Amino acid sequence: MSDPTTTEKPVAPEPERPARSRAASSMQSWLPTVKDSVAAIVLALLVGAVLIMFSTPRVIESLSYFFSYPWDFFKFSGIAVFDGYSALVRGSVGSGSSLVRTIERAAPLICAGLGVTLAFRAGMFNIGAQGQMILGAVAAGYIGFHYDLPVGLHLLLALAGAIVLGGLWGGIAGFLKARTGAHEVITTIMLNYVGRFVILFFLGKETFQRPNSDNLLSPPVNDSATFPAVFGLHLGVLLAIVAALGIWWLLERSTWGFEIRAVGANPQAARTAGMSVSRVYITAMVVAGMLSGLAVSMMVLGRQDPLTDQIAGSVGFDAITVALLGRATPLGTVLAGLLFGALSAGGLTMQAAAGVPPELAQVLQALIVLFVAAPALVRGLFRLRGDGQAVGVEAKGWGG
């Protein structure tokens, strides 16, 4: 077909929304992102300060004579908040041992958070890190304390056990979503509860019972199955960095990551382009579970935590907030994991030194994520400027 009559180039009449090039936009969008995140953290700390104030008896008492002598209220409030938050800082980064504690707490958060991040990128919301960790713990613990094996091999086997069992448990939710469309939010939450009964079942067995203990508690793993330690810090934490790099490579540089991101962003188009959406759901959840297994192995094989039904603690749930705060990117997850590791380590000191309940850390985390997810709110409060983009995690509706 010959070009019709004129040489004028056809002009697209539709609105060309301004498309910034990525080189420019990466800088431009990072700055407000960091600014928003910092503002969100500050705002959460402010709300936390109010909670601290009103949980301090002296402050409450000073309220009863507020109008006659308001100064007491402000003084006592200031002291309570300062005591609380300075304990938080001391307990997280104030000394070598608190730094070790922060890193030891951050590492499992990062690993499990990476699992949530990965599932997120595949368009799934993995709330099952807790259950996956519990199953991983059963494997790592059993191999760790039941067998006597040569030093390196024992650790490797226990680690592999945790990763495999965690992966299987994660894979169940992926399989159910792929095959029946059961929403992963519900199945992973239910699998968390089921996981708790699984470990209770094993803890009831004699093999898992710590001698001379009346509690449902296992012995710690043998020394041959532990991570080597330097300055009191077990080297398992390095695996968190390795995992972060690995997940970054998988997501950004591999064909499999290309599929994950495509399925997560537009499953119909991915399917039309020949990708197997089911396989992506299943494999992504398996790898997410493996990361949870890796996370718990740092507790069982690193800190030598004994198995209990509370082995996963709040890490499984905190992993979600870590991934959200990290905007479902590996680097962000590492940074958010370090922050929450510090909050968690400092929370202990806060309780010991200032009498602030450790649950405050959980409230702070939830608030931080809420505020990060609603930049408009934070900007409004702090009069910050920025474009109104929301968090880049796409998962709307029930997904079918």
Partner 1 sequence: MGRMSVIEAPEATTPQEATVRDRADVARQVRLVVTFGLSTAILVYFALAIEDPQVTYILGERVTQEFRPKDLTTTWVSWLAIATSLVALVLAALDRYPRRGAGLALALLVGVMFYLGFLMWAYTDQAGAFQAAIANPIPGTMRIATPLVLGALAGCLCERAGVINIAIEGQFLAGAFFASVFSSIAFTSLAFIPLALVAPFGLLGGVLAGVGVAAMLGLFALRYQVNQVVLGVVLVAFASGLTSFLLGQIPGDRKATFNNPMILDEIRIPVLADIPLLGQALFEQTILVYLMFASVAFVTFLLFETRWGLRVRSVGEHPKAADTVGIKVNRVRWQAVLLGGVFAGLGGAYYTVGSTGAFDREVSAGTGFIALAAVIMGRWHPIGATFAAVFFGFMWNLQNQLSFVDKLPGELLGAAPYLATIIAVAGFVGRVRPPAADGEPYVKS
Partner 2 sequence: MKLEIRGLTKRFGSFTANDAIDLTIEPGEIHCLLGENGAGKSTLMNMLYGLLDPSEGEILVDDRPVTFVTPADSIAAGIGMVHQHFMLVPVFTVAENVMLGREQTRGLGVLNRAEAAARVRELSERYGLRVDPDRLVEDLPVGVQQRVEIIKALANDAQVLILDEPTAVLTPQEIDELMQIMRELKAKGTSIIFITHKLREVKAVGDRISVIRRGKVVGTASPDTSEAELAEMMVGRSVKLTVDKDAATTGEVVLDARGVTVVDPRGHQVVKDVSFEARAGEVLGIAGVQGNGQTELIKSLLGLVRPAAGEIWLDGRNISTHGPRESLEDGIGYIPEDRAHDGYVGSFSVRENLVLDLYRSDDFSRGPALNREAIAANARSRIEEFDIRTETADSPVSSLSGGNQQKVVVAREFSRPLKVLIASQPTRGVDVGSIEFIHKRIIEERDRGTAVIIVSTELDEIFGLSDRIAVMYDGRIVGTVTPDIAREDIGLMMAGAHEPAEGGAA
Q: Check binding of 13 to partner 2 (CB under 8 A).
A: yes
* By CB under 8 A, residue 1 contacts partner 2: yes
Smallest gap from residue 367 Cβ to partner 1 (A): 7
Q: Which is nearer to partner 2, 6 or 68 (CB)?
A: 6
Secondary structure of 88-144 as H, E, C letters: HHHHHHCCHHHHHHHHHHHHHHHHHHHHHHHHHHCCCCCCCHHHHHHHHHHHHHHHH
How far is it, in rounded angstroms, from Cα 128 to Cα 89? 31
* Coil, helix or strand at residue 269: helix
Among 38, 160, 194, 217, binds partner 1 (CB under 8 A): 194
- Token pair, residue 268, equals 């119909």
Q: Does 313 bind partner 1 (CB under 8 A)?
A: no
- How many other CB atoms sit within 10 Å of the CB of residue 363? 14
Contact 97, 348 (CB under 8 A): no
Task: For residues 207 and 201, give the distance between their C-alpha atoms in angstroms, rounded to a whole number.
Answer: 11
In the complex with partner 2, which residue's Cβ is closer, 18 or 211? 18
Among 373, 382, 384, 386, binds partner 1 (CB under 8 A): 373
| Minimum distance from residue 10 beta carbon to partner 2 (Å) | 2
CB 161 within 8 A of CB 142: yes
Q: How far is the CB of 320 from partner 1 (least distance, A)?
A: 6
Q: Which phi and psi (to 5°) does residue 230 adopt?
A: -130, 130
Applying CB under 8 A, what is the total number of residues that bind partner 2? 40
| DSSP-derived secondary structure letter, 396 | -
| Shortest distance in whole angstroms from residue 278 CB to partner 2 | 10
What is the number of other CB atoms lying within 10 angstroms of the CB of residue 228?
Answer: 11
Tell me: does residue 110 bind partner 1 (CB under 8 A): no
Minimum CB separation of residue 196 from partner 1 in Å reads 8
Judged by the rule CB under 8 A, the positions of this chain that interact with partner 2 are 1-2, 4-6, 8-23, 253-256, 258, 261-262, 265-266, 268-276, 394
Judged by the rule CB under 8 A, the positions of this chain that interact with partner 1 are 51, 55, 57, 125, 127, 176, 179-183, 185-187, 189-191, 193-194, 197-198, 200-201, 204, 317, 320-321, 324, 357, 359-363, 365-367, 369-370, 373-374, 376-377, 390-391, 393-398, 400
